[in-house]
Amino acid sequence: MHYTGTIWRPTYEADSLLLEVTAGCTHHKCKFCTLYSDLPFKFRMTPMEDIERDLLEVQTLRTNPYSKMLTRLQGKDDPEPIQRVFLTGANPFVLKTEKLLEIASLIHRYLPSVESIGCFARITDSVNKTDEELLRLRQAGYNGLTIGVETGDDAALAFMCKGYTSHDILTQCKRLEQAGIEYGFFYLTGISGKGHGEAGAKASAEVFNQLHPFLIGPNMLTIYPESDLYQEIQNGNWEEEGELEKYRELRTLVENLNISTYFAAMGASNAFQLRGKLPEEKEKLLATLDRIISEVSEEDLRRYRAAVGPFSYLIIIFFFRILN
């Protein structure tokens, strides 16, 4: 298998086969983002021969009698059939429909057990696809997209150069729903800036409540010196929310959501791991957030924010123990 640069995936795709079909991001303008800064290019599609070579490698490892014998000699069971593939890159769904269908065909040829294909996507990726094309993609197995909408706050979307509006979120997600393509949202806590977090959360809930995401996954905004947002702060054009304000924002979001979805703040940017089904576990989530807001200091949360990096998971365990 070949991979280019740092590979990012949602926590819930841990059991999926990661297949590189693109590297980088077509937009590459969000002021807070540094995820693909290690690449020497903005966006690149993987050659089809490389994709096929990777799939052949996986097929061979799973069907080769010698590989199976070695697995058994090590006391391990034969691997479970691969049921899901996650395409890597910031937004592989931007590829033309025929290219996505060609990739799906290769996946099903080499890995016939695969039932669904997921990937990251931008709201704008479906704009140039017709309703019929979206339906064909669903029939080919594309389902469970992860969309980094970040917020439904139009002022924040514009300032951060996301390249779409809350109206676009509603329009494109309803088209996905019409085609039967399920999707989850990433929400970026803190994106609205100091003094605007709770208003941004209410605006986001108003948008999300009109849709049916299978998941809402909040991540806490962490600002890195190499980001455009850091320079905006230095120029006095934007102020960061305090850490406790971010948790009040998150509480406001949960409080105002009235749809059936799974709420999962599980990424390393979150000092506390929160998850629960809405609306069934709303009160439990609110109670946990109230405890964080009342019992954890701004200083401790800021120390966590400053340490977010390779060892942040260890810090997550420490913070988790504070509440237990």
Nearest CA-CA partner of 278 in 323, 216, 228:
216
From the centroid of its chain, how far is CA 19? 16
Give residue 77's pLDDT.
Answer: 73
pLDDT classification of 74: cutoffs 50, 70, 90: confident
pLDDT classification of 79: cutoffs 50, 70, 90: confident
Q: Where do the structural domains in the chain lie, given as residue ranges?
A: 1-143, 159-324
What does the block give as tokens for 324? Answer: 């237990």
pLDDT classification of 9: cutoffs 50, 70, 90: very high
pLDDT in tens, 36-53: 988 988 999 999 999 999
Give residue 70's pLDDT.
Answer: 66
pLDDT at 195 over 60: yes
CB 182 within 8 A of CB 147: no
pLDDT in tens, 114-152: 999 999 999 999 999 999 999 999 999 999 999 999 999
Give residue 323's pLDDT.
Answer: 46
Q: For the packed helices 298-307 and 243-256, what is the interaxial angle rounded to 10 degrees?
A: 100
How far are the Cα atoms of 256, 273, 286 from residue 289, in angstroms, in the given order?
14, 11, 5
Give residue 71's pLDDT.
Answer: 67
Q: Is 203 exposed, middle or buried (0-12, 13-18, 19+ CB in 10 A)?
A: buried
pLDDT at 248 over 70: yes
pLDDT at 312 over 70: no
pLDDT in tens, 84-119: 999 999 999 999 999 999 999 999 999 999 999 999
The model's pTM is 0.91
| CA 171/CA 153 separation, integer angstroms | 16
pLDDT: which is higher, 221 or 311: 221
